[in-house]
Amino acid sequence: MVFADLLFLFLFLPLCLIFYYSTGNPKFRNWVLIAFSLMFYAWGEPIWIVLLIASSAVDWANSIFIEKHRGTKWAKVGVVFTVVFNLALMATFKYDVFIVDQVNALLGTSFSAPGYALPIGISFYTFHTISYVVDVYRGDIKAQRNFPNFLMYVSLFSSLVAGPIIRYAHVEHEINKRNENIRDFSAGLSRFCIGLFKKVIIANIAAELVKKYMGDAKDPLTMEALAGFSSGEAWLGLFMFAIQIYFDFSAYSDMAIGLGRMFGFHFRENFNYPYISKSISEFWRRWHISLGSIFRDYVYIPLGGNKKRVYFNLFVVWFLTGMWHGASWNFIFWGLYFFIFIALEKAFLQKLLDKAPAFVSHFYALVIIIPGWVIFFFTDTDMLIAYVKKLFSFSAGPQGNMDLMNTITTHLFWLILTIILCMPVYHKVMAWVEKKKKRVTVFDTATIGFNVILIFLCIAQLVGKSYNPFIYFRF
């Protein structure tokens, strides 16, 4: 089940809200969230509920053990155990085939991997629990003594399967008691509607064009099909993927943040208009902010060292960033691709960018970011190389660029809207309206009307179209 699903919109979410707000008892409300979160998770693969609950129980008990023995060697043993235990689980289910393939290639063996199905959201909730236990070890937070409350934090359906990565410290005070109110609920609903619009109207339409020019998991691109495309069509496909992955992932974050606020949680932002960045370093301060902060605070800073060691630390972080996204060499190459430019910026390039005109710096960032997505997209190395060659062949296809022009013309209004939404135009307009509004009731009525329009458009699109992919579920 995904948020942009009629079943979720018209059955799951309404029932959850009805049960949640049927009582003012905080404990009952937490149990409602636990029950609905586990049902949400079980919709895909019920068996993985056992793994989620069992691993949560281990980390919960271990955090109490660590707090009890803080300052002793046993606390260190406890935190090491948590890190190894959780990463081993993730490696078993996510990287087993990749690891066995590399061993076979190196040693000439023929071991077979179990090939387990990937538990949905394991990359996200693994970081939830590791960051929690490490924070307990550091003394930054107190261990949660109530297991149901801890399970709610780990399993909360709004952020379980595709983030944002929620740190316990950021919601600690809202786990036991939340101050739900109509203003937060209204703001959360509006944020959810915006995310739904971005997913259904922007990301899904972009996904259809990506499928046409780059293929997808079920219908991968073939060499024969690629040969029939012009270089312009290849670039259009790549540009559409840059649009799809941003609006797909940021839409889910918007919906997750909105849902959280509807239930009284205040999650931190996960995206901040990354495509307006003027450097690669800035891009990664704006893209998937929760993941970047995890690697910064739990890998980069603890590695420490002098200025020369900075580049080694960056290498480790970006190698792990690539690995986190998937068990394939292309993800590692993608992570190291960005490492190269971030290292160059840290060495000397950032000083030049700071002196350059804003449009030059922005152009530089896009020239690096957008081609980088082709590395992310293709797990097949041969197809990756072939597609890159097509991009830079600057050749016309057998039909010239007629199909390219038809596609652009057909989607022109949508393309203009997409480009506008990549910039903080809406954010600035809403800030201006909020500042200038004189009558709250008029503004709130307009907001309700705006939400109704967004929902209507999304439902019309969902009913009429069946193609509703979601990229980050595989991570």
Alpha-carbon gap, residue 186 to 353, rounded angstroms: 41
468 by DSSP, 3-state: which? Answer: coil
215 by DSSP, 3-state: which? Answer: strand
Alpha-carbon gap, residue 302 to 309, rounded angstroms: 12
- Our answer to whether residue 411 is catalytic in this structure is no
Alpha-carbon gap, residue 373 to 168, rounded angstroms: 31
Q: Which residue, 159, 153, 160, is CA-closest to 122? A: 160
* Residue 109: strand pairing partners: none
270 by DSSP, 3-state: which? Answer: coil
The dihedral through the CA atoms of 97, 101, 103, 107 has a sign that is positive
Alpha-carbon gap, residue 210 to 200, rounded angstroms: 15
Instruction: Give residue-wise pLDDT tens across range 217-234.
Output: 888 999 999 999 999 999
User: What is the pTM (predicted TM-score) of this model?
Assistant: 0.93
Instruction: Please tell me the predicted confidence (pLDDT) of residue 17.
Output: 97
CB 118 within 8 A of CB 91: no
Alpha-carbon gap, residue 119 to 50, rounded angstroms: 11
Count each helix (H run) and each strand (E run) in the chain, helices first.
Answer: 26, 0
**Catalytic annotation, pick one of 128, 288, 325, 411:** 325
- Mean pLDDT (10-residue bins), the chain, 475 residues: 90 97 92 96 87 96 97 96 96 92 91 85 94 97 96 94 91 92 92 95 95 91 92 96 97 97 96 97 97 96 85 96 94 98 96 96 98 96 96 79 88 95 86 66 69 88 78 64
Instruction: Please tell me the predicted confidence (pLDDT) of residue 475.
Output: 60
Alpha-carbon gap, residue 451 to 262, rounded angstroms: 15
Instruction: Please tell me the predicted confidence (pLDDT) of residue 431.
Output: 76
Tell me which amino acid residue 50 is.
Answer: V
The 8 Å CB, 24+ separation contacts for 303-307 are none
Q: Which residue, 162, 175, 378, 144, is CA-closest to 250? A: 162
Residue 74 backbone dihedrals phi, psi, to 5 degrees: -70, -30
Angle at 119 between CA 34 and CA 103, to 5 degrees: 150
Instruction: Please tell me the predicted confidence (pLDDT) of residue 44.
Output: 74
Helix (H) or strand (E) holding 435, with range, is: helix 425-436
